[in-house]
Chains A and B, each alone.
Chain A
Amino acid sequence: MDLSYTDEEEEFRAGLRDWLAAELPRLPDRPDPLDWPGRRAYDCGWQRRLYDAGYGHVHWDASPTQRLIFLEETERAGAPYVGANFVGLLHAGPTIAAEGTPAQRARWLEPVLRGDEVWCQGFSEPDAGSDLASLRTRAVRDGDAYVVTGQKIWTSHAEVADWCELLVRTDTEGPRHRGISWLALPMDAPGVSVRPLRTLAGSTEFAELFLDEVRVPVDNRVGDENDGWRVTMVTLSFERGTAFVGEVVACRRLLGELARAARENGRWDDPALRRRLGGLAAAFQALWRLTQRNVSEAQATGGVPGAGGSVFKLHYSHARQELYDTAAEVLGPDALDLGREWNLDRLSSLSYTIAAGTSQIQRNIVAERILGLPKGR
């Protein structure tokens, strides 16, 4: 057990700090949250700066510890987060890096790292949410292409994406999990249409994706035919593993802001609120430590996070919702004003216990895969 970093890691940290201090004041103004093309341009511009400075690769090639340091320092400095590049950098990218052929890695990874291409994730379907393996979007082989027909839903960032990591059914006969393949779908292919869906926060950050006989080259398949489920599990463990690290740091920063705001407006005098903030600070500190442990384990086992990601995700998503409820308490009546800081984030936080696997599903995973309890209802 050792929480200290090596000299090399500390050097990496110091260099990054200097770079951030010089670079962040030069960033353009943040776009309006409802301006998707503007957000894409901003997020890709940031990624490009990282790339040019030699940090573009950090999500995959760097050691998990370096990645942790990167996320910690960027967040601490108030740098932009991955934004529209979430799927490219944290889902599809790592999957291609782990499972793709050299040609596929060469084709898709560089543009993501350079901030040239944006990806989205087309997994969920209207009838396949928690039960992802029941997905029905059909891909039929026709020469050197698959002909894909079906519907996806809740596809985040679909409107501004160039590529979609798509799960399709390539076999309808055998066990459900063994008939799925992972394809890279070009979003501008004929037969692809996107219908934006409005969230309860009023934005259209996800969409329905309709696929009508879309031809996707067989070369766009990552992993073997019918092996997409295993390939997907790699992606999902990334999603639940380290994808939220930066946000834990952000939550810790927010706690500091809440304490400051409460001291200013007098609510700090309320012991119940102080204790709630104290409890949350302990939880986020521990979540940070849990992340460090998960990362150490990932480092030892070759970089793919395991079921420990579910432990983290489960506690984190509830703690973060609680954090915004506490922010509302700090704000008092101003919590009803969407023009005030934190209140839109509170609305967004309602999705945390649903997206990337609901809390009920995470509990099933913890109970069945970690504790070995029997599968059941």
Chain B
Amino acid sequence: MDFRLSRDQTDLRRGVRELLAGRFGREALRAAVDGGGGLDRGLWKELGEAGFFALRLPEDEGGVGLGLPEAVLVFEEAGRALLPGPLVATHVAAGAVPGAAEGTAVVTEVSPEGLLPWRDAADVVRGDAAGAVPVRSVDPLTPLHRVPGAGGAAESVTVLLTAAEQVGTAAWCTDAAVAYARQREQFGQVIGGFQAVKHLCAGMLVRTELARAAVWAAAVTGDAVETAGAKLLADEAAVANARDCLQVHGGMGFTWEADVHLHLKRAWVRAALVLPAGRAAEEVAAAL
């Protein structure tokens, strides 16, 4: 057993992080929010060219030929960058829907919970979207429809990649809180020196590491129960870390200008979209 990243995996992660930092850094994120949250087709195409969607397709089908363990690393980075769009649905559709693998088609999907993100921007909607009603989405970067009468179970891969994105948010929130705690001064010292703040930050790291270990392991085993457990922990890590990160930022954290609310809102969306906490916990309990 060697449950560490290989050199290739580390390189992959770094490569994706650099790509996203360059192509969808803070300025691009805020521009997307201010611009009303449309989907950037150019970026989608670039993601396709970088192998984001074709990652797990065999090489002889034009794919990158990698597996789920690599995919969760990539999706963690997407989560960290708050990359918008139906990334998981398009990735899962690669090979089945023409253009998905290349990033020329945007594919979305009706979730079993009756939520449909990015309907109007998508070229292909998978699942029965009849009667879809637009709602005022809490997340400025995820347009949503409600679809009555949806049901069924989400695919395990969809659940796991969504969990990986949650880990990305959890990690971003930890980093952002720690960076702020190091720099913000009150009572003549940095607030990171107060145990109350230190403990918030430490708790964030613990949640992130726990969820990440669960997500990586589920990617290796492909086990459905382990995947459900990973989603449960990743949802918890993303939402709780976003809230603690907000708390560490004080009044600043409550502003639109700070990015933390964007992470919290996206974390709520991902938590509700597929296998929400109650269902995930039931699935794990049923296997006991």
Do A and B bind? Answer: yes
B128 nearest CB across to chain A (Å): 16
CB distance from B281 to the nearest CB of A (A): 8
A130 and B139 contact, CB distance less than 8 A: no
User: What are 28 contact pairs spanning A and B, CB under 8 A?
Assistant: A130-B186, A130-B250, A131-B186, A134-B188, A197-B255, A198-B256, A200-B255, A202-B256, A332-B276, A335-B138, A335-B268, A336-B138, A336-B139, A336-B144, A337-B135, A337-B146, A338-B137, A339-B136, A340-B135, A350-B246, A354-B246, A354-B251, A354-B254, A355-B254, A359-B247, A360-B194, A360-B247, A363-B196
- Give chain B's interface residues, CB within 8 Å of chain A: 113-115, 135-139, 144, 146, 185-189, 193-197, 243, 246-247, 250-251, 253-258, 261, 264, 268-269, 272, 276, 278
Please determine whether B256 and A199 come into contact, CB atoms closer than 8 angstroms: yes
Contact A333/B115 with A360-B196, A377-B194 known, Cβ cut-off 8 Å = yes
Contact A131 B194 (CB under 8 A): no
Q: Which of A129, A270, A272 sits near B251, CB closer than 8 Å?
A: A129
Contact call B197/A360, Cβ cutoff below 8 A? yes
Complex Cα distance, B272 from A127, in Å, reads 38
The answer, among B146, B251, B258, for a CB contact under 8 Å with A355, is B251
- Interface flag for A358 (CB, 8 Å): yes
Contact with B along A224-268 (1 / 0, CB 8 A): 000000000000000000000000000000000000000000000
B278 and A272 within 8 A (CB): yes
A residues in contact with B136, CB < 8 Å: 337-339
Which chain B residue lies CB-closest to A321? B243
Complex CA–CA separation, A169 to B247 (angstroms): 28
Sorted from nearest, which 3 A-B pairs have the closest CB atoms? A200-B261, A337-B135, A198-B256
Point out residues on A near B: beta carbons under 8 Å.
124, 127, 129-131, 134, 153-154, 197-200, 202, 270, 272, 328-329, 332-340, 343, 347, 350-351, 353-355, 358-360, 363-364, 377
Roughly how many angstroms separate A353 CA and B135 CA in the complex, as a whole number?
29
In the bound complex, how far is the Cα of B186 from the Cα of A124, in angstroms? 12
Contact of B247 among A272, A343, A353 (CB under 8 A): A353
- A332-B113, A332-B272, A333-B114 are contacts. A339–B187 as well, Cβ < 8 Å? no
Chain A hits for B196, CB < 8 A: 360, 363-364
Give chain B residues whose Cβ lies under 8 Å from the Cβ of A364: 196
Closest-by-CB residue of A relative to B133 is A337
A351 and B197 contact, CB distance less than 8 A: no
What residues of B have a CB within 8 angstroms of the CB of A124 in the complex? 251
Give Cα distance in the complex from A200 to B258, angstroms: 8
A358 near B250 with CB under 8 A, answer yes
One of B257, B261, B272 near A333 (C-beta < 8 A): B272
User: Apart from A332-B276, A350-B246, A354-B253, what 5 extra A-B contacts exist at CB < 8 Å?
Assistant: A202-B256, A333-B114, A336-B139, A337-B137, A360-B247
Name the B residues within 8 Å of A377 (CB-CB): 189, 193-195
Q: A333 to B133: give the CA distance in the assembly, Å.
A: 13
Distance in Å from the Cβ of A186 to the closest Cβ of chain B?
25
Q: Which residue of B lies closest to A351 (CB)?
A: B254
A218 to chain B: closest CB distance in Å?
Answer: 31
Instruction: Give the residues in chain A near B269, CB-CB below 8 Å.
Output: 336
Nearest chain B residue, comparing its CB with the CB of A359: B247
Picked from A129, A134, A336, A355, the residue with its CB within 8 Å of the CB of B272 is A336
- Report the separation of the CA atoms of residues A169 and B257 in the bound assembly, to the nearest whole angstrom: 29
A197: chain B residues at CB < 8 Å are: 255, 257
Residue of A272, A332, A339, A350 ringed by the most chain B CB atoms within 10 A: A350
Would you give the shortest CB distance from A160 to chain B, in whole angstroms? 19
B13 to chain A minimum Cβ distance, whole angstroms, is 30
Which B-chain residue is minimally distant from A272 (CB atoms)? B278
